[in-house]
Structure 1
């Protein structure tokens, strides 16, 4: 709804008393009749004996346009049932509510002349009947002289000027806050445009910045394991694994280092085991040519090749594949998951499960020695040596004893041993 005004003749005499009576009785009144459309000023009505100007039934409510009556109901419904003005009604509400007295008094008075423009800030904030802010104390202008007081009486012109001053004051406060914040940001950032949290010092004196020249720690690099460490380390492999049965030779060669009869061998590793083939090849070469092994005192020497015609093939295979090849020579390795020399073939089979996990007879702390024993024992069969059992309790077991199965044979318990000539 827009703003509308009322028009009608000025009540006089008894009409005033009737209107005032209705005003005090729940603000009930009769609708005004047609009038001239002009606003009636307070100066048009003489003051009473006590200096008070009676309320005037004016025809406007702060600005707007004259009320236009149109058919259709609501505002401007056309002719309405009216009650003669000289017959006040008791208990009958008017068809159109009248404005509140304080609103009419606030806006019907003559507006004060505008204050002179200039850079000076008004000395006092006028009271605004619609403002939620309290009165501000008077302040002198920057020129030293007090700003001219608003002319007029009562609440003249305070609606418009109050809002204007409120806007000016808000703009001034916003400007001051913007300057303070900008200065704080400029100080904290050291002249850069990046905003930083207030109260955090980033001048580099607290040592909390990565850009203050501190060395950045390098990522720790794992030290590669030595040969001995790799040989002492267990590797995961299932005792029930049955591999592809396909082999590939470990590339490269290793010359025979010693004297005596030279044996040439090749190393095959079953595909898909996931074990270190180069480590296995090195272990075979160093173990067989150790003076504590079959090469003792220059009796023989061993050379590894990857092509050509070897004397035998040392093969690292899964438990299932090892069983297949040992079965070709009439040997059953599945019961204890052991290795064998498949004499009917060219292959000396090393069970990959035992190579990876060892045995309980040596334990986890002697995995290196167990792997050396495993090589010496199975190659010993290829060289023509049979199984031998320990005869002295507490002595080192012979290298050709089945040490993977047990160190206690016929009630004689011996100690684990990896070498053909352990005392050398």
Structure 2
């Protein structure tokens, strides 16, 4: 598993974080208070990929290229989230049809867990061309999520024609044993904080990170997304996965390219859309890479 330098998507780059922030540099601030309140009030009932809150977003800006010897972190809101997949609407790129608002109660999210993980069984077929990257999908023990279901969602995101395979440089295959280049882990906020904190990142119980070959997905974001994606939770999961895997591939944070344009997946949408439209894919339906000005 590749060792990397940490990044956080919510603060300054330390070799590039995506949503987490270096410890001691920045507190949660008013944005996270608003996100938490809006997530509880507006995202009830959405269940089990990092994105961005309403009017905000997450991402890393950076040069394109292969994996580097650095660990990165960030909300994909992705990532984002990793939440994907009919053709995008003219104004908005989406990963899958938007779910209808739910009347179910807000799911209970444990504050922390044991820090041990169950791995999704089986292997997937290879998707894409270029360098093959093998990945594993883990879910923290004690979380009421199916490892097989989470693995299917991550596979669909990475196989989407608007995903990272569109560049022709990367191929992906999920494995359940043997060597893996990176692992996608869905974990409780406390466990994400502990693992990301080992690399000097402060995820504040709210965001995701990419460190040491681990794409750490905060359970809170996986289930509740953010205000902007509150009714498109699966789209947000695509943002989480695409954003954090983008860091793994060597991409840093970028800004909004202009009002009315799709937000790049490596934009920190959690911090605000800045006139851009919600988007969870690195490429558009015509195979064009969506980016913006680099953020340092």
TM-score, normalised with respect to structure 2: 0.59
In the alignment, what sits opposite 1:254? 124
SS at 1:355's partner residue? helix
Distance 1:299 1:392, change over 3 A: same
Structure 1 distance, partners of 2:117, 2:132, is: 25
In the alignment, what sits opposite 1:394? 260
Structure 1 distance, partners of 2:110, 2:193, is: 11
Structure 2 distance, partners of 1:232, 1:332, is: 32
1:404 Cα deviation (Å)? Answer: 2.9
1:368 Cα deviation (Å)? Answer: 2.1
Contact 1:294 1:300 in 2 (8 A): yes
Quick check: 1:419 aligned with 2:281? yes
1:328 Cα deviation (Å)? Answer: 1.4
Structure 1 distance, partners of 2:277, 2:127, is: 30
Distance 1:297 1:379, change over 3 A: closer
In the alignment, what sits opposite 1:205? none
Quick check: 1:331 aligned with 2:184? no
In the alignment, what sits opposite 1:109? none
Larger RCO (CA under 8 A, 6+ residues apart): 2
Contact 1:390 1:414 in 2 (8 A): yes
Structure 2 distance, partners of 1:405, 1:279, is: 29
Distance 1:261 1:250, change over 3 A: same
In the alignment, what sits opposite 1:367? 233
Alignment of 1:222-371 (within 5 A): 232=99, 236-238=106-108, 241-334=111-204, 337-342=206-211, 345-364=212-231, 366-371=232-237
TM-score, normalised with respect to structure 1: 0.42
Contact 1:249 1:267 in 2 (8 A): yes
The one of 249, 270, 284 aligned to 1:383: 249
SS at 1:291's partner residue? coil
Distance 1:396 1:231, change over 3 A: closer
1:346 Cα deviation (Å)? Answer: 2.7
Alignment of 1:130-209 (within 5 A): none
1:237 Cα deviation (Å)? Answer: 4.1
Structure 1 distance, partners of 2:119, 2:179, is: 13
Structure 2 distance, partners of 1:320, 1:238, is: 14
1:239 Cα deviation (Å)? Answer: 5.6
Contact 1:361 1:405 in 2 (8 A): no
Query: Structure 2: which 5+ runs fail to align?
Result: 1-83, 86-95, 287-296
Structure 2 distance, partners of 1:380, 1:232, is: 26
Contact 1:338 1:404 in 2 (8 A): no
1:334 Cα deviation (Å)? Answer: 0.8
Distance 1:329 1:237, change over 3 A: farther
For these two proteins, the number of residue pairs brought into alignment is 190
Q: Spell out, residue by residue over 1:20-58, the C-alpha distance to the aligned partner (whole angstroms, 9 max, x if none).
A: xxxxxxxxxxxxxxxxxxxxxxxxxxxxxxxxxxxxxxx
Structure 2 distance, partners of 1:255, 1:283, is: 14
1:258 Cα deviation (Å)? Answer: 2.6
Distance 1:401 1:240, change over 3 A: farther
Larger Rg: 1
Q: Spell out, residue by residue over 1:163-200, the C-alpha distance to the aligned partner (whole angstroms, 9 max, x if none).
A: xxxxxxxxxxxxxxxxxxxxxxxxxxxxxxxxxxxxxx
Q: Spell out, residue by residue over 1:202-255, the C-alpha distance to the aligned partner (whole angstroms, 9 max, x if none).
A: xxxxxxxxxxxxxxxxxxxxxxxxx98999487854466111111111111102
1:297 Cα deviation (Å)? Answer: 4.8
SS at 2:228's partner residue? coil
In the alignment, what sits opposite 2:4? none
Contact 1:317 1:349 in 2 (8 A): yes
Segments ≥4 residues shifted beyond 3 Å? 227-240
SS at 1:265's partner residue? strand
Distance 1:405 1:361, change over 3 A: farther
Structure 1 distance, partners of 2:234, 2:166, is: 20
Contact 2:192 2:208 in 1 (8 A): yes
1:322 Cα deviation (Å)? Answer: 0.6
